[in-house]
Amino acid sequence: MVHRTQLYAVKVDPERPVEQVDYPNWLQTFFKDRYWAKPASEHMARGEFEAEQAERTIEMPFMPDIDKDLLNGKIKQFNECKAAYEAAVRKRNRKQSKRIVKDLGLTVSVLYDARKKSAAAARAIQMTREVQIRIKTEYAFISERSKDELILTSSRRKIPNSKALIPPEVAWHLMAWLNEGHITKRIHWLRGPRRCGKSTILYRFLNMCQDYAKPTGMTPAWIAGVAFDKSFTNDQIMDHFLPTIIHQIAERFYSVKERLHEIYHCWNREEYIVSTPFNEQVEDLFVALAGAVPRNGFSPIIIALDGLENCDSVALDRVFEFIEKTLEPASVLPIYFIVAAADEGTSKRYLGSSGLESLVEVNDLLPFSKLIERAPRPLKSDTSSSSSQGIIEVDRFADSGISVQDPA
C-alpha cells in the first residue's frame, strides 16, 4: 500500500518573505504532522507561484539568454524537489521528507531571488536601450551639423604628397610638446610661409597619433581637427564648426553624448542655434562637457586647426573666440590645440595677443627654398647607386615640398 499525506490548501502572499515558514516542533511532528505536510504545502504553493512568475519574467523584452537559462534551471530544481518530497511521503520516509521540505524552502527562496534579479536586469537593459534611443535621437542635433569634409583627418580630403616625410626637427618638437610641453603651452603653432608643408605635416602627424591614441601615456587620448580647405564664412562657423569638433570627441567618448543629452534635452535646439550668441554656445555645449571627458593619466585631447587663412575675418574671430573660451582658467577641459598658420595676418595677431601669447609654443617650418638647399643629392659619378640616407625627391607642386623614398 502506497502512503499519501494530505497537503494543505494555502493562499500565497507574494509580499511575505519566502523564508518565513514555521516548521513543527517534535511534539507537533509526532502527533499531527509526521511528514511536515503543512510547511511543504506552503513551500509548494509559493514555489508554484514563483515558477509561474519566472516563466513570465523569461518572456520579458531584453531578457538576456543567460538569465533565461538560469530561471529555467531554477524552475526545474523546484519541480524536482517537489517530486522528491512526494516520493519520500509515498515511501513513508519521515526523516527524508523533513529534509526535503527544508531543501524545498531553500529552492523556492533561490528561485525568488533569481526571478527578482533577472527581472531587474531586463528592466535596466530596457531602460538603457530607451535612454540610448533618446540620446541618439537628440544627438542628431550635433551629428547632422557635423561635416565630414571639415574633419582634418578625413579620407575625403585631398592632401598632395600625403606620405611625405615630416622633417625630423619638426617631428621632435611636436613629440616633445605632446609629451610634456602641452602642460604649460596649450597651443602648438606650426608656423611657416604658404606652401611649406604645414597642412601635410599636420595631416600626417594627426593620423599617426590617432592610430595610437589611448587614455594614458605620451600619446593623446584622442584627436579632433578641422581643416578650412575652402573659403569659410561666419554663417558656416555658426552652423558647422562647433558640431564638427564635438562630434569627433563624442564618437570616442560615449559619456559626451550622455552629457549632451542632460544638457539640451529640455530646450528647443533649432531655436537655440539661431538665437544664442556663439560664445554662449561654446560655454553651453563644449565647456560644459568637462565632467564627461576622461582625464585618466592626464592624456591630452588634441584639437587641430588648419587653413585659418581661408576664414573670413568674422569667422576667424569665432574660431579664436572658441580657443580663448576653451582655455580660460575656469575651464577644466583637457583640451590642447595645434594650429597651422602663417606668421602673418589676423592669425598672427591673435596668437600674439596678450590673452594667448603666454600659452603658445612655436614650431617653425622652413620655407620651400630652404628645404631644397638642405636636400642631399646623389653624386653625378654614381647616379645609379643609392645613398644610405635614401633618395629625396622634391615636388614643387606638393604642399610639403619633400618626399622620401627608401632605396630599392
10 Å CB burial of residue 331 (0-12, 13-18, 19+) is: middle
CA-closest candidate to residue 314, choices 230, 243, 235: 235
Q: How confident is the model at residue 28 (pLDDT cuts 50, 70, 90)?
A: low
Most confident of 27-41, 274-288, 295-309: 274-288
Q: How confident is the model at residue 406 (pLDDT cuts 50, 70, 90)?
A: very low
10 Å CB burial of residue 98 (0-12, 13-18, 19+) is: buried
The chain-wide mean pLDDT, for the chain, equals: 80
CA-closest candidate to residue 20, choices 94, 112, 96: 112
pLDDT in tens, 146-176: 999 899 988 877 776 656 677 888 989 998 9
For residue 101, the model assigns a pLDDT of 86
Q: How confident is the model at residue 298 (pLDDT cuts 50, 70, 90)?
A: low
Q: How confident is the model at residue 131 (pLDDT cuts 50, 70, 90)?
A: confident
Q: How far is CA 295 from CA 4, 335, 396, in A?
A: 70, 10, 43
Q: Give me the mean pLDDT over the 50-75 stretch.
A: 92
Give the residue extent of every domain in the chain. 26-139, 145-366
Measured CA to CA, the distance from residue 58 to residue 76 in angstroms comes to 14
pLDDT of 339 over the 70 cut:
yes
pLDDT in tens, 237-248: 999 999 999 999
For residue 181, the model assigns a pLDDT of 87
pLDDT in tens, 305-331: 999 999 999 999 999 999 999 998 878
For residue 400, the model assigns a pLDDT of 36
Helix (H) or strand (E) holding 336: strand 335-341
- What share of the chain has pLDDT > 90, as a percent? 32
pLDDT in tens, 353-399: 878 999 999 999 887 556 555 555 555 544 444 333 333 333 333 34
- What share of the chain has pLDDT > 70, as a percent? 78
Q: Give me the mean pLDDT over the 132-139 stretch.
A: 87
pLDDT of 15 over the 80 cut:
no
pTM above 0.95, yes or no: no
As its CATH architecture, domain 145-366 has 3-Layer(aba) Sandwich (3.40)
For residue 5, the model assigns a pLDDT of 53
Residues in the chain: 408
* Cell numbers placing 203: 595631416
The DSSP line for 215-243 is SSSSS-SEEEEEE--S-B-HHHIIIIIHH
